[in-house]
Amino acid sequence: MKLEDLIAPVTKKELFEEILGKKPYVFPATDYKKEFFSNIITWKQFSDYINNHRASAGLQVITPQGNKLCMEKNNLHSDFQPHWDFDNRYEVLKVYRNWQQGGSVILTKASMLTPNISAIAGCLEETIANSAADAHFYCSPCKDATSFSVHADADDNFLVHAIGKVHWQVFTKTSREDCVIDTVLGPGDLLYIPKGIYHKAEPVTARVSISVPLAIVKGIHPLCRDYCDFEKNIS
């Protein structure tokens, strides 16, 4: 993916001179982005990831009461512990029960979870100097599923919408009440929120939206995102 495709119909010049670091902005869906974003992840891939990565250190839930739990720290597998390290194992059934009750799931540290999200993260890293991107998948099972209350983040964020719709309210750095963006976004839409800007997201339907935070640190080394096909060398 090229930056021009990601931010269309805005130009690269407009992004750097008028938007980046200056104001929140909605980059509307295009046919290309609708297809690309919709193919980031499926619900089947989401289920497979949770079931097959039980030792992952990157899964959190938001309970129906609105509390955030880091599953690898708060719900450790308490049965037989072998000598190899399963300290971060979580219990899928606890995640699933929370999901059944309308709680959301966050897959963190996931910028290489699928090729399309890695391409988006890599595109931003390549074009924005001294940047490194991550990705956090916010997944909700239904309308009005729990989400975070109004808050601000420490890094600039690009919010990618893959599945379903989300009601966004974006405020200012100084006020949680002065709303500058109030809109519903869906597949193909991209929302940019500079660091320190208060905002809130509420699922309108079942959804997967991905936060791509961008850390700007001089001399930072982004992840290597090369795909190596080991199968080609099998003899």
Please give the structure tokens belonging to residue 187: 């597949």
Closest CA to 214 of 122, 110, 134: 134
pLDDT 10s digits, 170-195: 999 998 999 999 999 999 999 999 99
pTM equals: 0.88
Torsion of the alpha carbons at 142, 38, 169 and 47, rounded to the nearest 10: 40
**16-30, 108-122, 179-193, 213-227: least confidently modelled range:** 213-227
Which of 27-31, 80-84, 94-98, 212-216 tops mean pLDDT?
27-31
Q: How high is the pLDDT of residue 155?
A: 95
pLDDT 10s digits, 48-103: 988 887 655 577 888 888 888 776 544 444 444 444 444 445 678 888 999 999 99
Going along the chain, which residue ranges are E strands? 25-27, 59-62, 68-70, 104-107, 131-133, 136-140, 156-163, 166-170, 181-185, 190-193, 199-203, 207-216
Q: How high is the pLDDT of residue 82?
A: 42
User: Can you tell me the distance from the alpha carbon of 41 to that of 114, in angstroms, rounded to the nearest whole number?
Assistant: 7
Can you list the domains of the chain with their CATH numbers?
Answer: 3-42+107-216 (2.60.120.650)
Amino acid at 7: I
